[in-house]
């Protein structure tokens, strides 16, 4: 064990030893790249239709109301997961719960940053990489840039968002992160064959 880690452990400074799960992990193949994305703040937001305008104003972006839709402004994005459900992500680490705290309309905002992590899948074979374990049609004509969905990848639930023509964001629970990364890495290798 490194001296710094021992010193941190004995001094009671637990934060000195923390690091994001799978930090720095990446796979770059001939046809696809899989990488761990930086940490972000996330909330699971539930609200009836009558509350979306006030929540949109508080969050600084319009909550999408159509299936498979997302919206973004700066480092913040809102992904539609159901008629009254969104996953809101802020890549700059802003406090999303505080943004929703002053909204008087009915809603539920729960911080889920601790349970989620994200992977980026990019390259010419990004669709083939994800399609190895996802039953949805991810072709650009059906799943355009900005489209998002909650689906399965292999044996786990994920949230997918197409961020560019040849790039996806894959959100999964931290407890499934090793499985997800390994699955995506192997699928990316197979896509190059």
Span 5-31, mean pLDDT?
Answer: 66
The yes-or-no verdict on residue 3 having pLDDT over 70 is no
Question: What pLDDT is attached to residue 5?
Answer: 43
Q: What is the mean pLDDT of residues 164-180?
A: 97
- pLDDT attached to residue 19: 65
Identify the band that residue 2 occupies on the pLDDT scale cut at 50, 70 and 90.
very low
Mean pLDDT, the chain, whole residue set? 91
* pLDDT range class, residue 6, cuts 50, 70, 90: very low
Q: Report how far residue 112's alpha carbon sits from residue 40's, in angstroms, rounded to the nearest whole number.
A: 10
Residue that has been written with the tokens 């104003």 in this structure: 57
DSSP-derived 3-state class of residue 190: helix
| Interval 85-89 mean pLDDT | 98
Per-residue pLDDT tens for 100-139?
999 999 999 999 999 999 999 999 999 999 999 999 999 9
C-beta separation of 8 from 14 below 8 A: yes
> What is the per-residue pLDDT for 15?
52
pLDDT given for residue 12 in this prediction: 54
DSSP conformational letter for 7: H
Measure Cα distances from 139 to 136, 165, 167, 188 in Å: 9, 10, 12, 16
Q: Looking at residues 138-143, what average pLDDT do you find? A: 97
Contact 158, 170 (CB under 8 A): yes
Name the percent of the chain lying above pLDDT 90: 84
Handedness of CA 8, 9, 12, 13 (dihedral sign): positive
Go through the domains of the chain in sequence order and give each one's CATH number. 25-39+114-193 (3.30.1360.120), 41-112 (3.30.70.1520)
């Amino acid at each position: 064990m490194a001296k710094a880690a021992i010193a941190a452990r004995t001094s009671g400074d637990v934060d000195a030893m923390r690091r994001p799960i799978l930090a720095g992990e990446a796979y770059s193949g001939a046809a696809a790249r899989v990488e761990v994305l930086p940490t972000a703040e996330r909330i699971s937001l539930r609200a009836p239709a009558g509350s979306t305008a006030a929540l949109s104003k508080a969050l600084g972006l319009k909550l999408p109301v159509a299936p498979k839709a997302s919206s973004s402004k700066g480092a913040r994005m809102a992904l539609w997961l159901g008629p009254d459900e969104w996953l809101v992500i802020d890549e700059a680490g802003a406090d999303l719960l505080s943004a929703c705290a002053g909204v008087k309309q009915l809603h539920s905002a729960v911080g889920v940053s601790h349970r989620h992590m994200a992977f980026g899948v990019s390259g010419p074979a990004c669709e083939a990489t994800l399609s190895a374990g996802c039953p949805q049609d991810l072709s650009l004509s059906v799943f355009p840039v900005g489209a998002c969905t909650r689906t399965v990848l292999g044996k786990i639930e994920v949230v997918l968002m197409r961020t560019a023509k040849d790039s996806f964001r894959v959100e999964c629970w931290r407890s499934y992160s090793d499985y997800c990364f390994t699955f995506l890495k192997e699928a990316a290798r197979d896509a190059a064959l």
